[in-house]
Amino acid sequence: MGVPFIAGNWKMNKTIREAVDFTNQLRNLIAELDDREVVIAPPFTALYPVAEALKGSNIHLSAQNLSDKAEGAYTGEVSARMLVDAGCRYVIIGHSERRNLFGEKDAVINAKIKIALASGLKPIFCVGETLEEREEDSTFSVIERQIKEGLNNLNRDDIRRLVIAYEPVWAIGTGKTATPEQAQEIHAFIRHLMDATYGEHMAGDIPIIYGGSVNPKNISVLMAERDINGVLVGGASLDIDSFIQIIKF
Give catalytic status of residue 95 as yes or no. yes
Residue 218 in this model has a pLDDT that exceeds 90:
yes
Which entry of 60, 95, 104, 187 is annotated as an active-site residue?
95
d(CA 242, CA 171): 18
Where are the chain's structural domains?
Answer: 5-247
- Average pLDDT of the residues in 36-49: 98
Contact between 71 and 110 under an 8 Å Cβ cutoff? The reply is no
Sign of CA dihedral 216, 247, 18, 168: negative
d(CA 18, CA 16): 6
67 class by beta-carbon count within 10 Å (0-12 exposed, 13-18 middle, 19+ buried): buried
Which entry of 37, 97, 133, 167 is annotated as an active-site residue?
167
d(CA 19, CA 51): 11
Q: What percent of the chain has pLDDT over 70?
A: 98
State residue 101's pLDDT score: 92
- How far is residue 124 from each of residues 41, 58, 240, measured CA to CA in Å? 11, 18, 22
228 class by beta-carbon count within 10 Å (0-12 exposed, 13-18 middle, 19+ buried): buried
State residue 170's pLDDT score: 81
Residue 215's nearest CA partner among 181, 247, 193, 167 is 247
Give catalytic status of residue 201 as yes or no. no
Q: Does the domain made of 5-247 have the CATH classification 2.60.40.10?
A: no
Q: What percent of the chain has pLDDT over 90?
A: 87
Over residues 82-115, the pLDDT tens digits come to: 999 999 999 999 999 999 999 999 999 999 999 9
Q: What one-letter code names the amino acid at 174? A: T
- Average pLDDT of the residues in 26-35: 94
- Average pLDDT of the residues in 213-238: 96
